[in-house]
Amino acid sequence: MLVKTYSAAVMGLEAITIMIEVSITRGVLLHLSGLADTSVRESYDRIRAALQNNGYKMPVADITVNMSPADIRKEGSSYDLPLAIGIMAANGQIQGERLGRFMLAGELGLDGRLIPIRGALPVAIRARKEKFEGLIVPKANEREAAVVNNLDVYGLESINDVIALLNGTKTFEPTVVDTRREFYEQQYTTDLDFADVRGQESVKRALEVAAAGGHNLIMVGPPGSGKSMMAKRLPGILPPLSLSESLETTQIYSVAGKLSSGTSLISQRPFRSPHHTISQVALVGGGSSPQPGEISLAHNGVLFADELPEFNKQTLEVLRQPLEDRIITISRAKYTTQYPCSFMFVASMNPCPCGYYGDPTHNCVCTPGQIQRYMNKISGPLLDRIDIHCEIQAVPFAQLSQMQPGEPSAAIRERVIAARKIQEERFKPYKGIHSNAMMTERMLHQFAEPDAQSLDMLRMAMERLKLSARAYSRILKVARTIADLAGSDRVESMHIAEAIGYRNLDRGDWAERGI
């Protein structure tokens, strides 16, 4: 007897429909074709144990399974459920009339329970696109998949439930998620607030400018000055995610298997802070079974690199292209995959190996050569791609104990949202451009053209600091954001002056002076 079941293979962020054909004839062997990897071939043992432990007999016959399209590699354990259902239907233990209405995905435990899988959201999107009546997934994946409208999603506990649903002996209600209500309820929930940060007003201003324009930023200062503390609070002043951004981010986390059980949509901007020992593959993605890297997990959010010079220099260099293109293409011999990676890059570092260069309360023990070598761990091209360079000093205890709580994140966020709304209106005719940091060179001439006085100031800064053409563009982008925060239609000299002040690390005498 020949039956067909349907599942999906996740490739990048997309899913491809997989048709599983099962034929049973006289014999005792299992034949599995369709470019299945080891984990799929091992599913036969899991299926046999699961069926036997639930009172079903594994057919003693020649079982031939074909997974089509045969030229796409099938990886992972999510094919356990459709394979098991196909074998049982071919053996006459399940009615085959309803099989074509459902897409199935799930791993089987030896006791027959359904174990969560990766990529349930892209699979659900594919099931709706292919006009399947429903999708059957493990219970832990139901809310993730139920985000997709116009598709009945059944989150079931065990293979017994799946058999009962397909045979019509038991009724199950599809999972319903009020996506918009849950999304908007959780948007403003945060435990980290800038009100906890005492002092550091100039750094807060730099972070506000960075958030308002989507600019990359680096903070340089001694240990304990609050660099990490403020970076962690940055997502709290960014504009809330839109529903489309949330869906895209959730899809990435679904493919990576990073969604918590019972989660429907990611409603807050991600904040990723990888350790400095991270490898290139873990940072940008890829591997033998392609997975999104940290830069894609930070999509629509913040990627924070603490102690930037401690990262491997070759690892940091792979960031150069994603920072410009906001998409990463991973090409290997057997596959080519694209992941989105539009993120704010925020970094922190000490000014020298000992950490106290320029600190009035500590003596630095580093020589100018050591400081220069330490700074040279960050290449010029990477530093060029960081719009805002911010120097930070530790707040003395006498001031720290007397200061009132700082301005709350909610107040800063209102100004940031107002500036972003100006940018959204400005870039409405341009597809894929949402903030000043994304402006092209042509847009700079159109929206951030400096007046004569500002141009003289820029020329002087370029000559003195020996800035690159890319740094010139960054200054104009940051100046445009400062003007937006001030509600100004034109980029004026005061905005240019502040933007130039954010290029501290471009100064050639940086390693020969105190902060």
DSSP sequence for 63-115: EEEEEESTTS-B-SSTTHHHHHHHHHHHTTSS-STTGGGEEE--EEPTTSBEE
| More confident call, 34 vs 29 | 34
- Answer for the pair 439, 214: CB distance below 8 angstroms, yes or no: no
Place of tokens 């959201």: 121
Whole-number mean pLDDT of the chain?
90
Contacts of 172 (CB under 8 A, 6+ apart): 154, 156, 161, 164, 165
Please give the DSSP secondary-structure letter assigned to residue 322.
Answer: H
Q: Output the pLDDT for position 19.
A: 97
Contacts of 32 (CB under 8 A, 6+ apart): 40, 41, 44, 65, 67
> Residue 299 above 90 pLDDT?
yes
> Residue 515 above 50 pLDDT?
no
Q: Output the pLDDT for position 466.
A: 78
Summarize the confidence of residues 497-513 as an average pLDDT. 71
Share of the chain above pLDDT 70, in %: 96
Query: Does the CA dihedral 365-367-372-374 come out positive or negative?
Result: negative
Angle at 32 between CA 28 and CA 33, to 5 degrees: 140
Angle at 434 between CA 431 and CA 435, to 5 degrees: 140
| Six-digit token string for 341 | 């990676």
- Answer for the pair 29, 65: CB distance below 8 angstroms, yes or no: no
Summarize the confidence of residues 365-369 as an average pLDDT. 89
Q: Output the pLDDT for position 513.
A: 46
Q: Output the pLDDT for position 437.
A: 94
Summarize the confidence of residues 7-30 as an average pLDDT. 91
Q: Output the pLDDT for position 400.
A: 64
Q: What is the rounded distance in angstroms from the CA atom of residue 237 to the CA atom of residue 408?
A: 9
Contacts of 277 (CB under 8 A, 6+ apart): none
Burial of 79 (0-12, 13-18, 19+ CB in 10 A): buried
Confidence of residue 514 (pLDDT cuts 50, 70, 90): very low
Q: What is the rounded distance in angstroms from the CA atom of residue 32 to the CA atom of residue 267?
A: 42
Summarize the confidence of residues 59-84 as an average pLDDT. 93
Q: Output the pLDDT for position 478.
A: 95
pLDDT digits 0-9 by tens, 394-437: 877 666 666 677 789 999 999 999 999 999 999 999 988 999 99
Minimal CA–CA distance to 339: which of 271, 275, 265, 254? 254
Question: How many other β-carbons are positioned within 10 Å of the β-carbon of residue 515?
Answer: 15
- Answer for the pair 221, 206: CB distance below 8 angstroms, yes or no: no
Q: What is the rounded distance in angstroms from the CA atom of residue 142 to the CA atom of residue 121?
A: 9
pLDDT digits 0-9 by tens, 130-157: 999 999 999 999 999 999 999 999 999 9
Q: Output the pLDDT for position 206.
A: 95
Place of tokens 């890059």: 345
| More confident call, 199 vs 6 | 6
> Residue 372 above 50 pLDDT?
yes
Contacts of 38 (CB under 8 A, 6+ apart): none
Question: What is the distance in angstroms between the CA of the first residue and the CA of the last residue of the chain?
Answer: 79
Bridge-partner residues for 68, per DSSP? 19
- Answer for the pair 249, 270: CB distance below 8 angstroms, yes or no: yes
Q: Output the pLDDT for position 403.
A: 62
| Six-digit token string for 426 | 């400005």
- CA atoms within a 13 Å half-sphere pointing along the CA-CB vector of 229: 17
> Residue 510 above 80 pLDDT?
no
**Amino acid occupying residue 40:** V
Q: What is the rounded distance in angstroms from the CA atom of residue 143 to the CA atom of residue 155?
A: 8
E strands, 107-256, are: 107-108, 114-115, 134-138, 152-156, 217-220
Angle at 481 between CA 449 and CA 411, to 5 degrees: 160
Summarize the confidence of residues 374-387 as an average pLDDT. 88
- Answer for the pair 194, 233: CB distance below 8 angstroms, yes or no: yes
Q: What is the rounded distance in angstroms from the CA atom of residue 394 to the CA atom of residue 197?
A: 12
Summarize the confidence of residues 205-229 as an average pLDDT. 93
> Residue 119 above 50 pLDDT?
yes
pLDDT digits 0-9 by tens, 164-211: 999 999 999 999 988 777 777 776 667 788 888 877 889 999 999 999
Q: Output the pLDDT for position 335.
A: 79
